[in-house]
Amino acid sequence: MTDDAESERTFLDKYEEEAAKIGRFNLAIFGKTGTGKSTLINAVFGEEVAPTGIGEPVTRTNHLYLHRAGFFGLIDTRGLEIGTGTDQIIAELGAYLIEMRTKPLAEQVHVAWYCVRASDRRFEDTEAEFIRRLHSLDLPVVVVLTQVPSRDGVFHEDAHALADHIASLDLPIFSGRPLLVMAKGDNFTQQAEHGLKDLLDATFRVAPEGVTNALNAAQKIDLTRKWKAAQVAIGIATTGAGLIGATPIPVADAMLIVPAQLALMARISAIYGIPKETAGMSAVVATSVATAAGRGAVTGLLKLIPGAGSIIGGAISAATAASLTAAMGYAWATVCGQLSQGKFAGADGVIDRKAMKKLFEGEILSWVKKLGKTKDVTAVEAPVG
C-alpha cells in the first residue's frame, strides 16, 4: 500500500469509529396528511431521508415505517389516520418502543413531533388525545404549527389564536404550547421561512443527553452548533495525547503529526454528519492536503505562524504544532460545513474534489495566520453564517 492509501484508510477507520460512537437520532413524526411533515423533515434534516421511498416496516402490522439516513432515523405512519386509527398507531408504536428498549440507545425512538397545519384553524379532540397517549409512552412531544404565514416578522393572528387554544389544553408538550413554523419560503405569496431553529433547539432540549451528538450530526440548519462541537474536538486533539507531547519536535518530523491531524479531520467529518460515501470521497483530499501541509511545515507554512519562525535548533515547539493542527481542524470544519449544505456535490452525487481542495488549502492558510496570534486555539469565536 502507498502511504497515501494507508492514510486514507486511517482516515476512514477513524471516521467509522467516530460515527459509531455518535450513533443515530430517531424522530417520530405525526400529524394529519398534508400538514407539511415531509417538508419540515427536509428543511431540518435534508433531502436524504425525504420519505418518498417506502422505508422499512417496523411492525408486523405494517403501519409504522423507519427511514434511515446516516445519523438520522425517521419513524412515520402509513395508511392510518389520527382519530380513527389512534388505537392502532399507539398500540403498534408502544410495541415497537418496548421492543427497542432492550436495544442500544441509537435504536430507540427519542422525540416525537406532532404537526398541525395553521391554516386548518382547528385542533381536534382526537389530536389532543393522541398527544396524551404519545406522552404516556414516555416520548417527549413537540407540537409544531406548520405553514404559519407571517408579514414583517409578525405571525398571522389566526395562528396565534390556534396556538393559544392548544396551549389552553394543558397538554404534556414541550413548553406547553406549539412552536410556530414556516419550513419553506414561498416567493409567490412572499412567505419567509421561520421557526426552524427554535424547533431544533426545542428538540435538543427534550432529546436524551446521549443522542445530542447524533442530533447535531443529523441536523443541517445550525452550523454554529456543529462548529462548536468541532472546536471541542480540536481542543482535545491539540492539548491531549494527539500531539507528540510538550517537547519540541524536529522540523523534519513535522510529518509525524499528520496522522493525528487526519484522525481529527475524520472526527470532524462525523461531527458534521457527513455521510459515509462522502467521507470516503473526501478522504483523498484530506490526506493529500494534510500530507502536503506536513511537508510545507518544513518549507513555508511555519513562516506564517508569528513566533514559529524562530525555529530553534531545527525543532518546532509543541505550541506551533498545536496551532498547525488546530488550523487544519478549523479549515476542515469549514469544508464539512459546506459539504453538509450539499456544496461540492455534482448532479451524479460525486464530490468535486478540486473545489474542495481549493477551499481547504485557502482555509488552512487563513487559519494558520489567524491562530498564530492567539495563545488558546480553542478561544476562537465561531465564524458567522
Ligand X SMILES: Nc1nc2c(ncn2[C@@H]2O[C@H](COP(=O)(O)OP(=O)(O)OP(=O)(O)O)[C@@H](O)[C@H]2O)c(=O)[nH]1
Contact footprint for ligand X (CB under 6 A): 31, 33-39, 146-147, 182-184, 186
State the sign of the Cα–Cα–Cα–Cα dihedral 90, 204, 201, 192: negative
Q: Which is nearer to ligand X, 119 or 288 (CB)?
A: 119
Nearest to 180 by CA among 36, 361, 2: 36
Choose the one of ligand X, Mg ion, none that binds residue 24, judging by a C-beta under 5 to 8 angstroms depending on kind: none
Q: Which is nearer to ligand X, 74 or 262 (CB)?
A: 74
Choose the one of ligand X, Mg ion, none that binds residue 17, judging by a C-beta under 5 to 8 angstroms depending on kind: none
| Least Cβ distance, residue 346 to ligand X (angstroms) | 26
Q: Which is nearer to ligand X, 36 or 242 (CB)?
A: 36
Q: Shortest Cβ contact with Mg ion: which residue?
A: 38
| Least Cβ distance, residue 129 to ligand X (angstroms) | 19
Residue 126 interacts with Mg ion (CB under 5 A): yes or no:
no
Q: Which is nearer to ligand X, 38 or 239 (CB)?
A: 38
Which x/- pattern over 37-76 shows residues binding Mg ion (rule: CB under 5 A)?
Answer: xx--------------------------------------
Q: Which is nearer to ligand X, 112 or 308 (CB)?
A: 112
Choose the one of ligand X, Mg ion, none that binds residue 147, judging by a C-beta under 5 to 8 angstroms depending on kind: ligand X
Q: Which is nearer to ligand X, 199 or 254 (CB)?
A: 199
Which x/- pattern over 19-38 shows residues binding Mg ion (rule: CB under 5 A)?
Answer: ------------------xx
The C-alpha angle with vertex 19 and arms to 16 and 23, in degrees rounded to 5, equals 140
Burial of 236 (0-12, 13-18, 19+ CB in 10 A): middle
Nearest to 61 by CA among 94, 25, 20: 94
Choose the one of Mg ion, ligand X, none that binds residue 149, judging by a C-beta under 5 to 8 angstroms depending on kind: none
Choose the one of ligand X, Mg ion, none that binds residue 10, judging by a C-beta under 5 to 8 angstroms depending on kind: none
Choose the one of ligand X, Mg ion, none that binds residue 186, judging by a C-beta under 5 to 8 angstroms depending on kind: ligand X
| Least Cβ distance, residue 186 to ligand X (angstroms) | 4
- Report the 10 Å Cβ neighbour count for 135: 15
| Least Cβ distance, residue 106 to ligand X (angstroms) | 25
Q: Which is nearer to ligand X, 36 or 275 (CB)?
A: 36
CB 282 within 8 A of CB 356: yes
Choose the one of ligand X, Mg ion, none that binds residue 277, judging by a C-beta under 5 to 8 angstroms depending on kind: none
Which x/- pattern over 261-300 shows residues binding Mg ion (rule: CB under 5 A)?
Answer: ----------------------------------------
Q: Which is nearer to ligand X, 39 or 213 (CB)?
A: 39
| Least Cβ distance, residue 230 to Mg ion (angstroms) | 32
> Under the rule (CB under 5 A), what is the footprint of Mg ion?
37-38
